[in-house]
Amino acid sequence: MEKSDNLNPAYPEVWAGLECTVNRVGDEYMDQMQLNGHAIREEDIALFASIGVSKMRYPLLWELTAPNGPATADWSWGDRRLKLLQEHNITPILGLVHHGSGPRHTNLADPKFPEGVAEYARAVAERYPWLEYFTPVNEPLTTARFSGLYGVWYPHGRDGYTFGLTLLHQCKATVLAMRAIREVIPHAKLVQTEDLGKTYSTPLLAYQAAADNERRWVSLDLLTGNLSSEDSMWKYFVDSGIPEEDLQWFRDNPCPPDIIGINHYPTSERYLDEKMEGFPEWSHGGNGIHQYADVEALRVKTDDPAGFYSGHKVLLRETWERYGLPISVTEVHICGAREEQIQWFKHVWDSCTELKKNGVNIVGVAAWSLLGTFDWVNLVTRADGFYEPGVFDVRGPKPRPTALAKMLTQLAQGKNYEHPLFQLPGWWQRPDRYFYPFTPENLEEHSQIFLRREESRFGRGTKAYWRLNWNPIYETETIPDGTGLTEEQVHHLENTTRPILITGATGTLGSAFARLCGDRHIPYRLVGRKQMNITDPFSIERAINYYQPWAVINAAGYVKVDDAEDNAEACDLVNSHGAMLLAATCQKRGIQYLTFSSDLVFDGLKQQPYLESDAVNPLNVYGKSKALSEKYVLDMHPKALVVRTSSFFGPWDESNFLTLMLQQLLAGNSFLAPEDIIISPTYVPDLVNACLDLLVDEESGIWHLTNEGELSWADFARKGAELAGLNPSLIQGFSANELQGQQAPRPRYSALSSERGQLLPSLEDALMRYANRMKLSRRIALKTA
């Protein structure tokens, strides 16, 4: 059954995985497959096959299949899914417990847990004797830390004994499960996954870093039978109350992995510092001996330009030298912008390829989170609905392939996936990645950085690993070199990369794209009418020849809705004719093109959110110009991306509705707003980030992008005032019939929704981030006044 047609043996195989965590918090279970829809969507497997992966980590979880034991198991889900994997020539690596506590009648601290897993494993093997690869328990050390040491997951232990108990039970479950499986399938192989991080520290805390760095190997040492009474972790477990005979059992019953699966995230490597004033309060903790901050090592400024970071090349080589067993990177995923996700996978792939060429047996690299992940930014302790897209984006009616899918397809065929942005360094390699330590001089700058991260909703990594109640004293450890780039190297790469060309230099949208391209380190050129007149084809040709962009974003336009009634020709010239000329030039040169339309292409008679397929019927000249623009652009450039959006609000311009309202209320004045015009307000940072992701994904056609929700202008103002800590009763509503000075007719209802995918977060979420930004801006202004 194994698929062995690796097209280029010099490279690892392309694997994939499905985020399938079923973890318990209190009496609540968090089920990723319910959230991502795969639980009820078997057609996903054909999508997974379309990218050409050879092996896939796939779940058949104990607590979902046989919660009351194998005798009453429901195999129907597994029967159908595993048959489809066979039909699509995907070799499954079957997972039985994934960060789980098992069914409700047991848990990781239950002495009967290992035998329960083994009983289920035997039933799986008997049901599917053609299977070959198994991961009975995913990341036992990570799960034990969260469940037994940090109190995050069930059974919420916070002591060395519970940590040791939960770890040993999972490792014993793995040994017994593989023993049971091999009695049915003698050639069955164990693919044992574990997160491999590393800890760095100040000299004072070197003992703690050394303890962490010994602990990271303990699950693999147990399984290989290598943990002995001479090892520090053995002593730690015994001191915590674990009987020595329980540890000796692993030396007598070794079960070395056939493949070691290493999972490593940008947040996996940590830095400890007792000078806590230089680090945010949320990072403060301790071990019973010292109090210290615990932050991402990548973010800490050091005298070494590379900083505190080992990365995959160092960590995988350490694993190879320690165990000499085949290795796969079984999770490659990052929470971030789309180009960062691609850059991260490329970074890992290139590291693994180099190691393989140098003799390290790297057999595969797995794109994790085929369908994305939910709420890993809070360690799946709450159902907040925070979604990180993966290879496919599930925020639409069916999973949508992202740029990652295109990249994996090329790699699986032994080819490279070329794109200008993917050659740029990721943030983890850049010299401007440092946040810490804070100083009085850089505190304001860091506040703005954190705010921008919150605005963009990019976690910049995932799986934030915590350290609590860990206090053995060990020796210091040498910090290896990192893999960062110098400012000169980054500058060269950015200056030799084709940019995005953005029109509308003086407008809200154009300047927002420039700002966020800068934040995302996407090379761009922002131009006004002097640099490129979009109504003049010769001016467009000259600009395209000069800037050589890979994409053009048309953020220019005639925006004065009322003035357009008396200046229809001027409005059409820019909004319709200019957009069309840009589309024609981009189509001819194979350049991606993004332009904008409006909710004003609709007449408001529908009285429920408009979708992309709804017929347009504009009421005014401006709306007609945008409707014509959509038609002209897509006729000229069928692969163009046309984004319809609605009323903007954002932190960077002083003239948007919400900012004007806040200024009036801060001055003690009331504010007037219509009660009977319904809109879908759109937070500019969310809009721009989603547009850039779609552009990287090479999406086309009409998309509706607004924050999820609808309300009147008056309620919009009241909600913004409330979240900003101001008095919402100062908002005075009135009827649109009383509006003065509006020449252009407007729809009373123009809310937008999407049948292609709701990519922007809720309006409530966006308003909260906007209010936080404005509060911080006011504090900074008062502080510097």
Q: How many alpha carbons fall within 13 Å on the CB side of residue 484?
A: 27
CA distance 296 to 436: 9
Per-residue HEC secondary structure of 343-383 comes to HHHHHHHHHHHHHHHCCCCEEEEEECCCCCEECHHHCCCCC
Q: How far is CA 25 from CA 391, 394, 408, in A?
A: 28, 25, 34
CA distance 210 to 232: 10
CA distance 36 to 39: 8
CA distance 296 to 300: 7
CA distance 400 to 657: 34
The residue ranges of DSSP E strands in 133-282, in sequence order, are 133-138, 189-195, 198-201, 259-263, 269-273
Cis peptide before 397 (omega within 30 of 0): no
Q: φ and ψ at 94, to 5 degrees?
A: -80, 125
58, 128, 622, 683: the catalytic one is 622
Are 217 and 240 in contact by the 8 Å Cβ rule? The answer is no
Are 112 and 69 in contact by the 8 Å Cβ rule? The answer is no
Candidates 69, 153, 150; CA nearest to 117 is 69
610 included as an active-site residue:
no
Instruction: Report which residue type is found at 688.
Output: V
CA distance 112 to 62: 14
Give Rg (Cα) of the chain: 28
Residue 502 host element (H or E): strand 500-503
3-state secondary structure of 7: coil
CA distance 306 to 301: 9
CA distance 337 to 342: 9
3-state secondary structure of 164: helix
Q: Could you list the active site residues?
A: 622
